[in-house]
Amino acid sequence: MIFVKNLKSVSDQEWTTTDKYPGVRWKLLIDADFMGSSGLSLGFVEIAPGGDLTLHYHSPSEIYVITNGEGILNKSGELEEIKKGDVVYIERNAKHGLKNIGKETLEFYWIFPTDTFSEVEYFN
């Protein structure tokens, strides 16, 4: 199966938020929970200025593709500035977080090597 979707026109998925991650909202784009995909899943995140995807870890590894803005990546306690155009690899179970330190919305895609986002268990 081959499927094309567009972030701007996607209509089958809504934004999700949680009190745990202030100023953060996300949308699932490729996920076996609502399409016939498998092996990989993908979502898109927006972090408002000052917003914080706080330190967490999970057993699947993860990739970020930063498409707008700038932020501070927390790499298990070590901080690194990241910006539009950067890509980030996060090893399985590595603690990570991302805070928007800019004036623009920080936007990125995440990729998990999982069928679904819902199977990823988040730990602090």
Residues near ligand 7BC (CB under 6 A):
21, 24, 26, 45, 53, 62, 110
Tokens 């953060």, residue located = 24
Paired strand residues for 26: 16, 45
Helix, strand, or coil here: 61? coil
Q: Compute the distance between CA of residue 91 and CA of residue 68 in angstroms, rounded to an integer.
A: 23
| Contact pattern from residue 53 through residue 82 relative to Ni ion, giving x for each residue in contact according to CB under 5 A and a dash for the rest | ---------x--------------------
Binding at 45: pick from ligand 7BC, Ni ion, none (beta carbon under 5-8 Å per type): ligand 7BC
Q: Looking at beta carbons only, is 25 or 37 nearer to ligand 7BC?
A: 25
Q: Looking at beta carbons only, is 46 or 62 nearer to Ni ion?
A: 62
Helix, strand, or coil here: 77? coil
Stretch (H or E) spanning 26:
strand 24-30
Under the rule (CB under 5 A), what is the footprint of Ni ion? 62
